[in-house]
Structure 1
Amino acid sequence: MKTINILDPQAVSAEDAIGLHHVAKLVFKARRTTVLTGAGISCNAGIPDFRSDDGLYNIVKAKYPSSFIKGQDLFDVSLFRSNETLSIFCTFMEGLYNFSLQAKATETHRFIKTLKEKNKLLRCYTQNIDSLEKRVDLNCGIDSNVFNEIVHSSQKQFRQNWLELDVVQLHGNLHKLACTQCQFHYDWTPEKQLKLKEGEYPECDNCYAKYQERLYSGKRLTGNIGMLRPNIVLYGENHPQSEILAKGLNIDISLKCDLLLIMGTSLKVDGVKKLVRSIAKGVRERGGHVVFVNKTPVAKQWSKCIDFEVLCDCDDFIRALKTEIPDLFLTQEQLDSKKLQPRPKKEAKDGLHKSPSFINIKKEEEGTVLTPPNTPEKIRTVLLPKSRGSKVKKELLPLPTPSFTEIIKVESDCDGVDTDVDDVPLQTFSESALNRKRPNVKQESMNQSDRTLKRVKVEA
């Protein structure tokens, strides 16, 4: 597991910056991303988390100092054993509901919406009960009335309904009230909210109607009237949708997820631990990666399961992604218009993105730059083809025949002296003698030399 610490954006090391860039590339290249979120992604929305110094658990301790109840016990099923703890639970839940009404979706919630729009979101599993995902138009929650009818009937119908879900709320929905007796669901009303604020449970209208019906018909009363409480899962109680979740999880594992992104959770809940191990195993077997993002480090037991641990605020991580991979957050229209725009010429900054030649070249004079000489052209030698079987005959060039004017000149210079024509240097012969055609140059030259000698003797 590689840790990337960017808690302080002004003091990020070069190694952490490179690691963050690598994680951003993984997010951009992932085709199917599974996201697991916790209370940490809702802190910037105005809803405090649970285990931090200013979390909900410590707020409860400060509000009820005389009570022996701990903050974590507010989500434990054992609080129903005491009227005092039950009253504290009602008041606490009403306050949490008010927080969620005033909260707005954060950068992380909008990032999950972006993944869906880019067809990169496989599923989002959340431990949060604030339903802020609905603020960005994500399909949240499991309708028990629908899934319970098809979970044992049509596998195809169940798969179709499951794939329509964007967000699976693992711990329930605070914005719904459920009866402790008949499990009937209700929306919050001002009357019900006022009773919970005062530490009292509102009665279930469905149970009360059945009670009145049996009472006036003279039938035996079968039970008590149920109370309404927020539709959330408490520690120590069975999950009412466990069978639906198990079946849906198997579908998601079979869809070959290549990135698991864990954000804003400490991974200390047993059920969530099993969920993460199941998904992470399938992701890593297919060459994918597991990325953990939170302010506090994860336990060391996860070092073999998580590839990258990014220590920072969840919204700061999303802002970093917008800087590293801005195209992921652009709409298709924006991407198309970006392609049509001419690319601006990039100017190298001082000391950055400059080649060594650009840095070391010095100018002799201002406005002139030394340039290398032109490359000399290569001389090609053309080889003429040789005919097969031909032999080259070596022949001596014949001596040139002197012209008539040259002969007269030789005769005039002799002055009665026997002079042999062979003693005359070849340089005195005219060039025209070299271009003459002579079939038998050697014999003709000898005959002419003899005639010249005879003429010289006669004249003498």
Structure 2
Amino acid sequence: MPADTSIKLHEVIKFISKSKKMTVLTGAGISCNAGIPDFRSSDGLYNMVKAKHPKAVVRGQDLFDISLFRDEMSLSVFCTFMESLYKSSLNAKPTETHKFIKILKDKNKLLRCYTQNIDCIEQHINLKLDVVQLHGNLHKLSCTNCFSQFNWNEEFQTLLANGLNPECSKCMDKYQQRLYSGKRLTGQTIGLLRPDIVLYGEHHPQMEILTQGLNSDLKSRPDCLIIMGTSLKVAGVKSLVKSLSKIIHNKGGKVIYVNKTKLSASSWKNYIDYEVVSDCDEFVRMLKTEIPDLFLTQEQLDSEKLNQVAVKGSSLNKPIVKPEAKVKIEPGIKQEDAIQYSPEREVTIKQEVNIKQEPIVKREVESVSVKEEPIPTPPTTPHKPKQATKLKRKSPDEISANEVHSRVKRLRPRNDQLSSPASSINGSEEEEEEDEPVAKVLFENARKGITLDQH
């Protein structure tokens, strides 16, 4: 590969990796590896159909032209060809290119996929809502008269395989209703069913819807367009590519073309930035090698990160292998007495440290006298606390009985200060019963010369 080509290919890979809003346009080239026979080879679909209709003179390109409906023989060849193509599409498997488009969707990189194919292989990998079929849907049948759509069934498939178009059931019901009601049947025709595809020279029945969708995508400002498997010879597709290219270039994006055949450099040089001449699936495999993370799901990426962390952690836990230390043997030291360091056996030399113990010095603790301060009077107390007065010591003969009785009265608790509920119920009789022993104690103390501080 030339150096210039290698550099450009590296730029393509880097740009695809960084792109966030990608638009993809696909053609028949991406379905060749899906199991659908091509049209022009010796064992292609056209030669298979030709074998069933040897008298028909129909070219391959005429099978997709609106003019074939003018001739019954050409129409019969068309029906047989479409039934064979439909049967092949049912057994077709998504290619690497189809899977690549699905990956872009899963990574939130895909803005829209426009396809010229009618085989509906994208539906096998849940891409139906993200794909715009520019040339119709082979898996649907439509009426040539009322344009009603139908799904394929065994009856329709058998008729088409034999070169016959099924009649539209809705047109038939309407015709019979007018017939039984006695209404005129002038101008009433019964339509025929044909595959719901767009032929050359035919107006697209959903052109307005496609135009609205395209304008919406252009407003989203895509940053990349990848064209895969198409020769860009259809006029409508050419116009689509040029419109997308202008928007993408205004945003600083790129247009990449991938196909087996080259384009005309003169007509597309202002619209296409990179042209890769390759099979589409081979190009995708190359991307998978160069950008592996793009093809991994989020779960696979998370699992890979965990494995990397685990490998780093295990490498940190491994013992560090140190080289064997060389020990210089001094004269007079035997070889067996020398210490050699080896990874299998570590020798730890403990150094003895003499710690000089200092004598324990006892510290004398000075005694501190704490002066008790009187408890402050609560703010609710209306009077100030009285200072304690000391009674003078009296001799036993000087203490009279009346003085003893007055002291007992001062020590007796009031009714509202009794702690026991029973004392408040029994009244003053119990108080008088308790006065006598208390008085005796005080009297005896007074006789001994003991006095009490009054508070």
Whether 1:244 and 2:209 are equivalent positions in the alignment is yes
Residue 184 of structure 1 corresponds to 148
Task: Write out per-residue CA displacement over residues 336-377 of structure 1, whole angstroms, 9 at most, x where no aligned residue.
Answer: 2222333779xxxxxxxxxxxxxxxxxxxxxxxxxxxxxxxx
Task: Write out per-residue CA displacement over residues 303-354 of structure 1, whole angstroms, 9 at most, x where no aligned residue.
Answer: 2211111111111111111001010111111112222333779xxxxxxxxx
Residue 59 of structure 2 corresponds to 70
Structure 2 gaps of 5+ residues are: 313-455
Q: Kindly tell me: are residues 116 and 338 of structure 1, through their superposed partners in 2, closer, same or farther at Cα, counting changes over 3 Å?
A: same
**Counterparts in 2 of 1:245-284, with a 5 A limit?**
245-284=210-249
In the TM superposition, what is the alpha-carbon distance from 1:68 to its structure 2 partner? 2.7
Distance 1:275 1:212 in 2: 45
Task: Write out per-residue CA displacement over residues 146-175 of structure 1, whole angstroms, 9 at most, x where no aligned residue.
Answer: xxxxxxxxxxxxxxxxxxx30000000000
Whether 1:195 and 2:184 are equivalent positions in the alignment is no
Could you say what secondary structure the match of 1:18 adopts? helix
Could you say what secondary structure the match of 1:342 adopts? helix
Residue 414 of structure 1 corresponds to none
Task: Write out per-residue CA displacement over residues 388-438 of structure 1, whole angstroms, 9 at most, x where no aligned residue.
Answer: xxxxxxxxxxxxxxxxxxxxxxxxxxxxxxxxxxxxxxxxxxxxxxxxxxx
Task: Write out per-residue CA displacement over residues 260-280 of structure 1, whole angstroms, 9 at most, x where no aligned residue.
Answer: 000000000001000111011
Distance 1:133 1:299 in 2: 29
Task: Write out per-residue CA displacement over residues 188-240 of structure 1, whole angstroms, 9 at most, x where no aligned residue.
Answer: 01111000011111001111111111111112224111000000000111110
Instruction: Tell which structure's C-alpha radius of gyration is larger.
Output: 2
In the TM superposition, what is the alpha-carbon distance from 1:64 to its structure 2 partner? 5.3
Residue 118 of structure 1 corresponds to 107
In the TM superposition, what is the alpha-carbon distance from 1:60 to its structure 2 partner? 5.5
Distance 1:307 1:51 in 2: 31
* Equivalent in 74, 94, 98 of residue 83 of structure 2: 94
CA contact (8 A) 2:256 2:274 kept: yes
- 56-65 vs 173-182, which moves further: 56-65
CA contact (8 A) 2:23 2:110 kept: yes
Q: Kindly tell me: are residues 188 and 293 of structure 1, through their superposed partners in 2, closer, same or farther at Cα, counting changes over 3 Å?
A: same
Residue 232 of structure 1 corresponds to 197
Percent of aligned pairs with the same amino acid: 63
Could you say what secondary structure the match of 2:114 adopts? strand
Q: Kindly tell me: are residues 306 and 65 of structure 1, through their superposed partners in 2, closer, same or farther at Cα, counting changes over 3 Å?
A: farther
* Equivalent in 214, 234, 238 of residue 178 of structure 2: 214
**Amino acid of the structure 2 residue aligned with 1:171:** H
Distance 1:208 1:328 in 2: 53
**Amino acid of the structure 1 residue aligned with 2:132:** V
* Equivalent in 273, 281, 288 of residue 253 of structure 2: 288
* Equivalent in 301, 308, 325 of residue 274 of structure 2: 308
In the TM superposition, what is the alpha-carbon distance from 1:52 to its structure 2 partner? 7.1
**Amino acid of the structure 1 residue aligned with 2:24:** V
Residue 441 of structure 1 corresponds to none
Distance 1:61 1:214 in 2: 41
Residue 166 of structure 1 corresponds to 130
Could you say what secondary structure the match of 1:19 adopts? helix
Could you say what secondary structure the match of 2:138 adopts? strand
Could you say what secondary structure the match of 2:63 adopts? helix
Q: Kindly tell me: are residues 187 and 224 of structure 1, through their superposed partners in 2, closer, same or farther at Cα, counting changes over 3 Å?
A: same
CA contact (8 A) 1:75 1:234 kept: yes
Residue 44 of structure 1 corresponds to 33
Q: Kindly tell me: are residues 63 and 266 of structure 1, through their superposed partners in 2, closer, same or farther at Cα, counting changes over 3 Å?
A: farther
Whether 1:328 and 2:317 are equivalent positions in the alignment is no
Q: Kindly tell me: are residues 209 and 62 of structure 1, through their superposed partners in 2, closer, same or farther at Cα, counting changes over 3 Å?
A: closer
**Amino acid of the structure 1 residue aligned with 2:194:** R
Whether 1:16 and 2:5 are equivalent positions in the alignment is yes
Distance 1:220 1:109 in 2: 53
Q: Kindly tell me: are residues 274 and 61 of structure 1, through their superposed partners in 2, closer, same or farther at Cα, counting changes over 3 Å?
A: farther
Q: Kindly tell me: are residues 55 and 295 of structure 1, through their superposed partners in 2, closer, same or farther at Cα, counting changes over 3 Å?
A: farther
Residue 307 of structure 2 corresponds to 341
In the TM superposition, what is the alpha-carbon distance from 1:48 to its structure 2 partner? 3.4
* Equivalent in 319, 323, 341 of residue 285 of structure 2: 319
In the TM superposition, what is the alpha-carbon distance from 1:178 to its structure 2 partner? 0.3
Could you say what secondary structure the match of 2:132 adopts? strand
Count matched residues.
Answer: 309
Distance 1:83 1:245 in 2: 32
In the TM superposition, what is the alpha-carbon distance from 1:250 to its structure 2 partner? 0.8
Q: Kindly tell me: are residues 267 and 278 of structure 1, through their superposed partners in 2, closer, same or farther at Cα, counting changes over 3 Å?
A: same
Could you say what secondary structure the match of 1:129 adopts? coil
CA contact (8 A) 1:105 1:132 kept: yes
CA contact (8 A) 1:95 1:197 kept: yes
Distance 1:50 1:273 in 2: 22
Q: Determine which structure has greater relative contact order: mean sequence separation of CA pairs < 8 Å that are 6+ residues apart, divided by chain length.
A: 1
Q: Kindly tell me: are residues 50 and 263 of structure 1, through their superposed partners in 2, closer, same or farther at Cα, counting changes over 3 Å?
A: farther
Given the two structures, how large is their TM-score scaled by the length of structure 2? 0.65
In the TM superposition, what is the alpha-carbon distance from 1:16 to its structure 2 partner? 3.1
In the TM superposition, what is the alpha-carbon distance from 1:32 to its structure 2 partner? 0.3
Task: Write out per-residue CA displacement over residues 26-66 of structure 1, whole angstroms, 9 at most, x where no aligned residue.
Answer: 11110000000000000000123456787655666677565
Q: Kindly tell me: are residues 57 and 281 of structure 1, through their superposed partners in 2, closer, same or farther at Cα, counting changes over 3 Å?
A: farther
Could you say what secondary structure the match of 1:48 adopts? coil
Distance 2:61 2:118 in 1: 15
